[in-house]
Each structure stands twice: as C-alpha cells, then as structure tokens.
Amino acid sequence: MRGNSSISSHVHIFTFLTFSEQKTCLLESRLSTFTKDTASSSNPLLIIVGSEATRAATQAGMKGSSRYSRSRQKVCENCSTAKAKCDRGQGKCSRCAARGIRCTYPGADTSTQSSEAPEDQDAAGSDSPDRHRSARRPRETPDFAHLRLCCPINVDDIQNRWLNLFVPMPGQQPKQYPAAITLFISRVLKSYVAAASRGRTVPPFIHLLQMRVLASVPPLSICLSLMRMCEQPAPGSEGVIVDLLRREMATIYANRSGYDHTAMLAAFQAFLLYAMSLFFTLAQGPDAGMREAMMHLQDLAAMSCRHGLVCAEEQQRARPKWEAWAVAEAKRRTLFTMYLFDSVLSSLDGLPTFLGTELAGLPAPASRVLWQAEERGAWESSYSLDLAGWSAGRLRIDELWPVSSDMGQAAVLERCNRVDRWLEDVDEYGTMLYAVTSCTHGT
C-alpha cells in the first residue's frame, strides 16, 4: 500500500477515528483491495482511517499529491481530534493558541508546519516570497528574565481598598454607576469568563506572550484548564466545581509569597478568573465568601504591582523590551478589570463605590496594534510609531475621569483631543473602558 501512488487520485481522507489494532489491519487490507479495484475508476473512494499506522500509510501513498491533500484539509489535527471548530488562523488557530499547544495540519511539511498556516489559506498571497519567509519563521520563546519595571503608585492603597467600604479615606471621590452601566460591566466581564471557558480565546488582559510560556506558569495553565468545566456543567455538578475552584484559589493565596514576578502575575490573573467564574457562571452571589475572595484578590494585586506596573523606558519616552511591556500592559489591564469587578460587587451589595484615585498616572490601555502584535519586529515598529505620535506622553487612565472644576477651557479641550486620538487605535477592551467612564462621569 505504501508504494501505491495511485491512491493519491482515488482516496479522500474524511476524518480520523480510533480503531483497535486488529480492525486497523483489516482496514488496511481492505484498503489495498479497494485501491486495486478503483485504480481505473474516475470516482474517488471515500475512506475513513483511524490509527497512526493507517494514517501514516495513507499519507505515504498520497505523498505525490501533497498539494491536493492540503487543499482538502480544513481543520488542524487538534481540532479534528476534538471535533471542534477550527478558524485556521495564520500560523496557529485560536483554539491551539489559547492552549499554548502546537498547531499542525495533516499533509503539511513537518519542518515548517508548526509555524505555517494551511496552503489554501495563503493562496491569495502565494506569489509573495516575503510572505512565505514570514510564515515559515519559527516563533521565538519569550524571555521574561531581567525585566526593567517600576511601580509609580502606592500599592498599599490597592491592598487596603476593601477598607474604603467601611472607613472612607479623606478626599475619596464617590462614583455612582447608573444601573445600565452596572449591567453593561457585568455582561462584559461575564463574556471574559465564557471566552476562557470555551477555550477559543483568552480574556483581553492576558497577553499572547504569556500563552507561549503557559506551561511554565502553573497558576494560569491550571486555571485555563479548570475553566473548561464551567461551560455547561452537568446537572448536580455545580457544587463540586465550586469547591474545586475555591480550593485552587486557596492554594494560590497560600503560595503567594513563593511566586516570582511572572508567576505572580499569572496567579493574580487566575484568581480573578476564578472569582468571576464563581460569581457570573456558578451563581455564587456577593456573599461573605466573595467579599473575602476580593480581599485576597486585592492582596495578590498589590504583590504583583510591587514587581512593577510600568517599564522604566516608558517613563523615559524610550522603547522598552517587548516582554517587559507585555507584562506591564497585561498587569495594568488585569488591575483595571479587578476594579470594575469590585465596583459591580459593591453596587449589587448597595455599598458605595469610589474612584480609584490611587491608579492616577498609569497609562490607559494601549492600542490594538501593540496589544495584538505577534512578532517582535512588528511590535517594535508599531511602538516606535506610537511613541512619535504621542509627543506629550501616552494617555493616562485619569484622563478618562471627571474633569476637575479648576481646569481651564484650553486644558479641557486638550484632554478631549487626546482622548479622541487614543480612541482612534484602541482595541475592544479600551473601548469598553471608555464607555464605562464616559457614561459614568460624562467625560
């Protein structure tokens, strides 16, 4: 069978199932017989093959027609095995990217398939040598060692934010979310949990560079695996899932002092996802247990922020290391998300909510191009352009807050122009944040 080149024009691979070894041998024998009978037929034979041996034999017979087999392959191997929808993304489908696993397409050259998309996806640009060189370039492993980060704010105010509900500090600015905004935030945060539960993508506060080293940060890798259980849990299993998530949260909090800066960020993100899953998906309301979880979450946030919230180069108007910027940006987005979640819980409890003045001075969420860049060169070019476009410094989060009464008309107009400039390039996360602040403060 391996030497029969006529298979290529008479066999279609439909799907891969699991067969016993005995059934595989029978199938291969029958396949050889059918191949002889159909060698002169104009109608191709539909074959369902299963084991690795059968797959290898079939692909060997189709070696002379790799272009044909590629054009028929519509999903990667992982999605095919899981019978899941595959978006056949450039380099990696989103499902494999979210899991940090290798994405391969049957029939592709094994030397390049980990970084090359299916051939039919690149057909439109097949005449471009640069496109092929870019597609075959292996993705580098991020280096998160020796990151130059600093923390320009007082993180103790983050850690003790829960106290503001009972003993407000002087000068605090209360904010009152309209009911529609509370519902809007809840729906958006719930969608982040749902996206992680389905495994097709990750929330917009987890950077793709983190996903490339997911195996080295157990808090986040375990979290994204456990989140799959939150999607359509079996009747009666909700209590078991709740207990499991709470145990993982307790484990993260107990081990918090032993994490390095990368694992600490992962622990912060995982704990936030667990808490939002309990509240939005598993119907664990804003009770005493959720309040305690929020206190622990604020502890983790403060510990993570102590490792740095901005790059040293950001304060010097220079371009930082890609990994350093990714960590800082992901940390800030996670922090902003935690504040939104805390505000929702307080609003539903009938408790006052306060403006996060302790975050003043932090950069607002970065542009879509910077956040979604997949290669170092593309990110560096985009950052240099972004740096030149913001000659007076990037937009700060406090520029989305209420305008103070002592600001002159010229200053107000300048702020409006800066916000408009920021909105031109921001991604969905930044748009959501602007919608919340604009409708709440009227900025």
Question: What residues make up the domain containing 23?
Answer: 5-136
Residue 18 class from Cβ within 10 Å (0-12 exposed, 13-18 middle, 19+ buried)? exposed
Q: Are residues 407 and 349 in the same domain?
A: yes
120 plus 217 within the same structural domain: no
Domain boundary among the residues 92, 113, 136 is at: 136
The domain boundary residue, chosen from 84, 108, 136: 136
Last residue of a domain, one of 136, 158, 188: 136
Give 341's pLDDT tier (boundaries 50, 70, 90).
Answer: very high
Give pLDDT, residue 78.
Answer: 77
Closest CA to 107 of 96, 119, 115: 119
pTM (2 d.p.): 0.70
237 and 127 together in one domain? no
Buried b (16+ CB within 10 A) or exposed e, 265-291: bbbbbbbbbbbbbbbbbbebebeeebe
> Are 391 and 423 contained in the same domain?
yes
Classify residue 355: in a domain, yes or no: yes
Q: Does residue 440 have a pLDDT over 50? A: yes
258/366 same-domain check:
yes
Decide if 343 is inside a domain. yes
Residue 316 shares a structural domain with residue 425: yes
pLDDT over 90 percentage in the chain: 53
Look at residue 167 and tell me if it is in a domain: yes
User: According to the per-residue pLDDT averaged within each range, which of 40-49, 163-172, 185-194 is highest?
Assistant: 185-194
126 and 167 fall within a common domain: no
The 10s digit of each residue's pLDDT in 35-50 is 444 444 444 443 333 4
Task: Tell me which of 157 and 76 has the higher pLDDT.
Answer: 157
Mind spelling out the 3-state secondary structure of the chain? CCCCHHHHHCEEEEEECCCCHHHHHHHHHHHHHHHHHHCCCCCCEEEEECCHHHHHHHHHHCHHHHHHHHHHCCCCHHHHHHCCCCCCCCCCCHHHHHHCCCCCCCCCCCCCCCCCCCHHHHHHHCCCHHHHHHHHCCCCCCCCCCCCEECCCCCHHHHCHHHHHCCCCCCCCEECCCHHHHHHHHHHHHHHHHHHHHCCCCCCCCCHHHHHCHHHCHHHHHHHHHHHHHCCCCCCCHHHHHHHHHHHHHHHHHCHHHCCHHHHHHHHHHHHHHHHHHHHHCCCCCCHHHHHHHHHHHHHHHHHHHCCCEEHHHHCCCCCCHHHHHHHHHHHHHHHHHHHHHHHHHHHHCCCEECCHHHCCCECCCEHHHHHCCCHHHHHHHHHHHHHHCCCCCCEHHHHCCCCCCCCHHHHHHHHHHHHHHHCCECHHHHHHHHHHHHHHCC
pLDDT score for 6: 40
State residue 184's pLDDT score. Answer: 97
In a domain, 144, yes or no: no
295 domain-assigned: yes
Average pLDDT over residues 186-202: 93
Query: Do 262 and 362 lie in a common domain?
Result: yes
Does residue 408 lie within any of the structural domains? Answer: yes
* Same domain assignment for residues 171 and 100: no
Q: Which residue type, as a one-letter code, is found at position 305? A: C
Q: Are residues 126 and 173 in the same domain?
A: no
More confident residue, 24 or 84: 84
Q: Which residue has the higher pLDDT, 410 or 98?
A: 410
The total number of structural domains that make up the chain: 2
Does 236 fall in a domain? yes
Q: Is residue 142 part of a domain?
A: no
Are the C-beta atoms of residues 207 and 372 closer than 8 Å to each other? no
Which residues does residue 46 pair with via DSSP β-bridges, in sequence order? 12
Summarize the confidence of residues 55-76 as an average pLDDT. Answer: 47
Assess whether 185 and 102 both reside in one domain.
Answer: no
* pLDDT, tens only, 197-252: 998 899 999 999 999 999 889 999 999 999 988 887 788 888 899 999 999 999 99
Q: Are residues 37 and 158 in the same domain?
A: no
- Name the amino acid, one letter, at 34: F
Task: Please give the mean pLDDT across all residues of the chain.
Answer: 80
